[in-house]
Chain A
Amino acid sequence: MSDLAIRLQGVTKRFGDHVAVRDLDLDVPRGTILGLLGPNGSGKTTSIRMILGIYAPDSGRVELLGGEPDHEHRSRVGYLPEERGMYKKMKVLDHLSFIGELRGVPAREGRRRGGEWLERLGLSDWGGRKVEDLSKGMQQKVQFAATVLHKPDLLILDEPFSGLDPINQDLLEAIVRELNEGGTTILFSTHLMDQAERLCRRVCLISRARKVLDGDLRELRRAEDRGDVEVEFEGDAAWLESPDIATATATDEGWHLTLGEGVEPAAVVRLAMSAGVELRRFERVVPRLHEMFIRHAGADAAHDAGRLPLAPRTGAAR
């Protein structure tokens, strides 16, 4: 058995003249939580659809759970698309057992597991009601249950938490974590950077159909760390003119400093002391995902904002 849940090699997909995904390589090790990040229209959903075999790539290779994205391998994947869709006229439990049946769970067993999930999600009274009678948030939880009902080895969640209140976000987050601890590999796309930071072990950043960043989140942080510091002080700001300080940007709470080549962060403290200003706060700034996102995709995202995405989308790049 391959130790990779997903492997994309040089995958490209075009729609007419538009290149949705260009030459994408991506390895997702089993057991990890990978965040697929990128601005609108950057190719996340198309990539996911190719992983699932919904689209065939124009060129390149897709490996899913160590094999082709065929029926056998796909039935071990749970997929929550960004566009939430359910059979509105079906009863909740019927819907759950049908989706389970498509993935090989016998109807009766599907109903049993569906009931358990509804209880866990606080919807046990709603199993016999029609889907259309449920609120949007409830429908989203039911759809999550449908995604995990067949105990998949790989969970692919496209913007899983959009439209949920914080309490339910936390609930689903806890369940995702728990499933991961049980061995389920998780790939999810999101615009919520703090959520990605909390949940992901790995991230892959796509922008304008290309991958721009990919790897272990901690390692990326280390690699992206330019030794930036934030300071707050009383006194004249003239000392910031020092050649050791490359840039100094005023923020709400002080200054954000990037340092010159080879300058130790501790040098800032010495500079401040010799300038005679009173240092109130000195903080090493570890790069946040948010900053990495902006740094690598910001220009592209701004450029792409004027273009029409392929499919209507919810949420916005932040």
Chain B
Amino acid sequence: MKTGPLSVLRAIIKREYLQRVRSRWFVISTIGAPLVVIGVMVVPLLMAQGGGESSGPRSMALLDRSGSLGELVGPGLEGAGYRVSRASGGSEEDLATLTQQVEDGDLYAVLVLDSATLNTGSARLIVENSPSSIRRLTLRQLVGQAALVATLQGEAPEAMGLLSGGSLEVEVLDDEVEVESSDFILAYIGAFLLYITLLFYAVAVMRSVLEEKTSRVVEVVLSSVRPIELMLGKILGVGAVGLTQLGIWATIFLLFAELGLPKLMGARPELAGLVELANVAPTAGQLGLFLAFFLGGYFLYSSMYAAVGAMTNSDQEAQQAQGPLVMLMVVPAVILPPVLENPESGLAVWTSLVPFFAPVLMFARAVSGAAPAIQIVISLVGILVATVAMAWVGGRIYRVGILMTGKRPTIRELWRWVRAG
């Protein structure tokens, strides 16, 4: 039988990884999150265009009894997304036929214009279901404007110039681009994603430690494994789950941007707004930065969270004991907007060099192009040093705490654990 610390470590990592990846939660969040994000981006665009009631342009019959207004209203309707058919004639029979078509669903509506329209701007709309207020407003404005134009054309042709709405001449004085570049968006989204995933997976390590402790299985495991091996295996296993999830997310978005998006835009030209999304696709270097800061931040925070899990006895206790760590993690999230607004300010530089804040802040500055390489390197080295220190302290607390039941230790007791270790 071959046994050794390495094969044991492998077994611990494998268990941690498989148990999590097979869980319902992992499948749902891994598949669900990208769907929600894509949905959030795509659905509003679809709603804005289609009015949300049905897809495809609606067909509308235009029955013009005024003689001149049809020419003006027709193009306006088309501009608003209707397929317009001009109904010839204007007898009551024609109207009845069209009304029947509306009832049958062949037509969305019939718009009737007559001499009264020309005078008062009022028109009649025959429709199956009551249209939305936005739709009413659009139609009223179309008809009213057309009536105004027709009247003015007859009486004061020179007023037409004003009706066209004038023009806007843009004079650019400062050539600096506003920060709303794709890098800015990337920095913001990426930093936020880092914050969320770091917090989530570090807490997952804590929960896993706590579960082993409260279920007492840890005593069996520790009869053949050293505490530090168990802690390391757990951190590596949960970390591998995090990388897997991030990898799947990246793949889904890449596939969507490269394959799904062009197809979608080909089918629905009104989704052109999504082109922005393709422009935001990160470069390999930016992905590398994300990976580096994720791993650094994860090892730093998970070794502290493992110690919190080991020194507490219940979820509630852990909830309280992790307070200081949550504070450490929330600070960068809170000052992220000002840092990104002004990535070269003293605040931005100094806070992003603090190892506990660096994973979020230095990443954001690096991606937005504001951090010189030397600062990035310093912050990564800082994270590494802090991780070694925290893993040393956390490992000692873990080693004592994992078998300790009863009252939560005080700071002084914790200190004694660290020194005794």
A interface residues with partner B (beta carbon < 8 Å): 49, 52, 54-55, 71-72, 74-75, 77, 79-81, 83-90, 94, 98-99, 101-105, 107, 143, 146-147, 150, 310-312
Contact = CB atoms under 8 A, between A and B. Distances in A.
A104 B1 contact: yes
Contacts of B226: 71
Interface in B196-241: 212, 215-226
A150 B2 CA distance: 12
Nearest to B221: A102
B4 A71 contact: yes
A111 B212 CA distance: 22
Nearest to B2: A104
Contact of B220 (A72, A75, A146, A311): A146
28 contacts: A54-B219, A54-B222, A54-B223, A54-B403, A71-B4, A71-B8, A71-B224, A72-B3, A75-B1, A77-B223, A77-B224, A79-B224, A80-B220, A81-B220, A84-B216, A85-B216, A87-B15, A87-B19, A88-B215, A90-B15, A94-B15, A99-B221, A101-B8, A102-B8, A104-B7, A105-B1, A146-B220, A150-B1
A102 B16 CA distance: 13
B3 A104 contact: yes
Contacts, number: 83
Nearest to B1: A104
Interface string B1-44: 11111011001100100010001000000000000000000000
A85 B224 CA distance: 15
Question: DSSP majority for the A interface?
Answer: loop
A98 B219 contact: no
A205 to B, nearest CB: 24
A83 B223 contact: no
Contacts of A90: 15, 19
Given A55-B403, A75-B224, A101-B11, 17 more contacts: A54-B223, A54-B403, A71-B4, A75-B1, A79-B223, A83-B216, A85-B219, A87-B212, A87-B217, A88-B215, A89-B19, A90-B19, A101-B8, A102-B225, A104-B2, A105-B1, A146-B220
Contacts of A107: 11
A55 B219 CA distance: 11
Contacts of B225: 71, 102
A85 B220 contact: yes
B3 A85 contact: no
Contacts of B223: 52, 54, 74, 77, 79, 81
Contacts of A101: 7-8, 11
B129 to A, nearest CB: 52
A19 B126 CA distance: 94
Contacts of B218: 85
Contacts of A52: 223
B405 interface: yes
A288 to B, nearest CB: 32
Contact of B5 (A71, A94, A310): A71
A312 B405 contact: yes
A52 to B, nearest CB: 5
Interface centre among A52, A80, A85 (most CB of B within 10 A): A85
B405 A102 contact: no
A317 B7 CA distance: 41
